[in-house]
Amino acid sequence: MAATRAVYDFSADAYVDAVGTQVSEKFEAPLDRATLDAFAEMVIGGQHSDESPLVLDVGCGTGRITSYLAARGLDVRGVDISEGMLSAARVAHPNLTFEEGSLDVLPVASASFDALTAWYSIIHTSLELLLPAWAEFARVLRPGGHLLLAFQAGSNEAVERPDAHGSSATLTHHRHQLSDVAAGLEAGGFEIRARVEREPELAHETTPQAFLVARHSSP
């Protein structure tokens, strides 16, 4: 976690220049954007009050997914471990709320959110260390709350990148097996509603991309 924070703090400005602060066709394929749109519709459709559903965007980075979902009628708040990325998100999206937090320690009350997204937020965490994250996701979601994960798919291999982005820190990328992530979620109290894996098609992609939609089981 310390290495991941150091790399993203160091490279936040470069990230904004390269990737930006909004969802774009360069970094989200049509299926990716369709998944986000379908998720927003699902969350809104499951709402039983006149208030906008409350969504937590975990690993929000520069607020790209946060703002995308907010534009679709959701009340979205972002959480990230990198203060550098959070600063960029606050500048780009001053109308939204962003706080520091990690996958396994989220700065929110239990059962306080209707949905949670982790869009490529688990790629720096090994499969076994994701177990506390699943427990934390379950803690903050209301019964029946929705979860959307996106990640680089593989065979649970780890790829190390020394001196990532010139930060002097090593950043590890974990390419998770979709079925193993789904099994971990099910063991953590989630019901899998959809699983999708597409082949790499964008310029920066070298591996398949995986998406999981789940629902927090009622006690």
Residue 6 is assigned to a structural domain of this protein: yes
Here the CATH number for the domain that contains residue 65 is 3.40.50.150
> Which domain, by its residues, includes 122?
2-17+24-160+174-216
Residue 31 is assigned to a structural domain of this protein: yes
Q: How many CA atoms lie within 13 A of 60 on its CB side?
A: 36
Residue 166 is assigned to a structural domain of this protein: no
Residues 53, 42 contacting (CB under 8 angstroms) = no
Residues 65, 39 contacting (CB under 8 angstroms) = no
Instruction: Return per-residue pLDDT of the chain as tens, 219 residues.
Output: 888 898 888 889 989 999 999 999 999 999 999 999 999 999 998 776 778 899 999 999 999 999 999 999 999 999 999 999 999 999 999 999 999 999 999 999 999 999 999 999 999 999 999 999 999 999 999 999 999 999 999 999 999 888 777 777 788 999 999 999 999 999 999 999 999 999 999 999 999 999 999 999 865
Residue 47 is assigned to a structural domain of this protein: yes
Residue 11 is assigned to a structural domain of this protein: yes
Residue 110 is assigned to a structural domain of this protein: yes
Indicate the number of domains in the chain: 1
pTM here is 0.95
Residue 156 is assigned to a structural domain of this protein: yes
Residue 167 is assigned to a structural domain of this protein: no
Helices (H), the chain: 2-18, 30-45, 64-70, 83-92, 131-140, 178-187
